[in-house]
Amino acid sequence: MIPLRSNLKSMLAALITALAWAGAGSAQAARPMVVDDARIVDEGACQVETWRRFNRDSKETWALPGCNPGGNLELTLGTAELPVEDLGLRSTTGTVQMQGKTLFKTLETNGYSYGLAVGGVVRSRGAADQVPNYYAYVPFTRSMLDDRWFVHANLGVQRAGANPQDGMTYGIGTEYGINARTYLMVETYGDNHHRNSYQGGVRYWVVPNRVQIDATVGTVAGDYGGGRWFSIGMRFLTPAFLK
């Protein structure tokens, strides 16, 4: 719960995005928000979040399955294809993401919840180049207006980069339901080494609590062109079948 020239900004934002890979039972957070919610997918159920992000000079493709096999532990294992720039040459790199998230307090209507997420990201450009990125963060969620308005906040730490660098990560976002199926969201997030990113978007439940489509636009603070992006995505939630 990660700005520079165009492609490097995209990569750093993608690392921050890794802090958002988690689920949300029958409620409405997770994709397309980067700031994570303090909720997990229902016990015995799974979800798949998939999206395409269009940066100014590159594209990213994500697929993130996650399941809750035991009640209070959501496990995510996913992959992505990300842009890289090495010695002036542009290419793509595969990414593997692993995360576990648990809750210390579950969310109730007009209440709050918090938990802990721990994970790692590995970028690969061949067997000789493995770059691990480890992180941990505390997600916090507050419900208001009878679950129509949610505020989410994250605070965490990470160790990232080819030359590992420790840092603090943070984010705050909000989502508001304009009706039973449609939610609007806005958020800001970043770390203590780079400028903040900002993002806004919308999610719509095609099939309530089962199939969602979404879209976002975002940018890096102080960037007036190169750091902008647009994303579209889908999210699928299953009934409980692992019990």
Predicted pLDDT at 64: 94
Predicted pLDDT at 1: 41
Predicted pLDDT at 95: 86
Q: Which residue has the higher pLDDT, 23 or 62?
A: 62
Predicted pLDDT at 85: 66
Predicted pLDDT at 25: 31
Give the number of other CB atoms < 10 A from CB of residue 146: 9
Phi and psi at residue 50, to the nearest 5°: -140, 140
Q: Per-residue pLDDT tens for 155-177?
A: 999 987 767 789 999 999 999 99
* pTM of the entire predicted model: 0.83
Assess contact for 47 and 231: CB atoms under 8 A.
Answer: no
Predicted pLDDT at 24: 31
Token reading at 56:
């100014």
pLDDT, the chain, mean: 84
Q: Per-residue pLDDT tens for 62-82?
A: 999 999 998 899 999 999 887
Predicted pLDDT at 175: 97
Predicted pLDDT at 124: 67
Handedness of CA 172, 38, 131, 234 (dihedral sign): negative
Q: Per-residue pLDDT tens for 98-138?
A: 999 999 999 999 999 999 999 998 876 544 455 668 999 99
Predicted pLDDT at 102: 97
Q: Could you tell me the pLDDT band of residue 226, with boundaries at 50, 70 and 90?
A: low
Predicted pLDDT at 135: 95
* HEC assignment per residue over 54-96: EECCCEEEEEEEEECCCCCCEEEEEEEEEEEEECCEEEEEEEE
Summarize the confidence of residues 136-148 as an average pLDDT: 97
Summarize the confidence of residues 134-155 as an average pLDDT: 97
Assess contact for 102 and 86: CB atoms under 8 A.
Answer: no
* Dist CA 48 CA 139 (whole Å): 20
Rounded to 5°, angle at Cα 118 from 227 and 24: 75
Residues facing 70 on adjacent strands: none
Give domain 6-237's CATH superfamily.
monomeric porin ompg (2.40.160.40)
Q: Is 22 helix (H, G, I), strand (E, B) or coil?
A: coil
Q: How far is CA 204 from CA 51, 125, 207, in A?
A: 14, 36, 9
Summarize the confidence of residues 34-58 as an average pLDDT: 94
